Amino acid sequence: MVTVLDASGQMRDHWWWRPGWRVGRSMYTWHATFDGQDTLHAAADRYQAVLVPLSGVDLIPRKWLHLTMQGVGFTDEVDADDLAKITEAARRHLATHRPVTFEAGVPIVDPEAILFAVTAADELRGVRDGVRAAIAEIWGSEHVPDSPDWTPHVSIAYSNTDGPAAPYVNALASIPPKPAAVTLRDVQLIRLDRDTRVYKWETVNSVPLGG
């Protein structure tokens, strides 16, 4: 059964400009990215196929599938030495975290996105807590961006307009559930931009779980 997160049953445009963002500006952030995760790619493909005939959503290409984890700051505001120190601190903190296996199942229709909720949320929060601890080690806990509250997910499409959610719910419900297992073995520090209605990035560094 497909879950709808907004009781109004309405979608809204995801691509409004959040505070600080503008065309040409990028951000350093920690994500889990999914190169080589064929099972997840196949699951996304199955659901995206039924969304293709529908307008109002931008499908996320395989190479840009991600699990948003923890922001650092806009690239024009983060000192290169601090970024290197945060990365090395993250290596130390994440050396004690084993790889995390989670499942992505039936999509959820959020007002701004269609996404997979994932299992093993507490283990994934432990990974994020390690990244947050690394930032706090360099900048102090009062300067760690983003809320400590966090629900991990993997989006497969973003809404690009306002309108009813029902067409997407009905299309997704036509696909038999087949959870995809993913093993997260590392997390990536990336330079992220969102100029073209898709989140794209360059990988700055990759930090393994478990040393």
- pTM (2 d.p.): 0.94
Residues in a beta bridge with 202: 191
- Domains, the chain: 3-208 (3.90.1140.10)
Q: What are phi and psi of 179, to 5 degrees?
A: -60, 145
Find tokens 């029902």 and name the residue. Answer: 166
Q: Which of 162, 171, 148, 135 is nearest to 50 (CA)?
A: 171
Tell me the pLDDT of the chain averaged across its residues.
Answer: 95
Contact 65/154 with Cβ under 8 angstroms? yes
For 46-104, the pLDDT digits (tens) are 999 999 999 999 999 999 999 999 999 999 999 999 999 999 999 999 999 999 999 99
Rounded to whole angstroms, the Cα distance separating 100 from 144 reads: 24
Find tokens 């959870």 and name the residue. Answer: 179
143-163: average pLDDT? 96
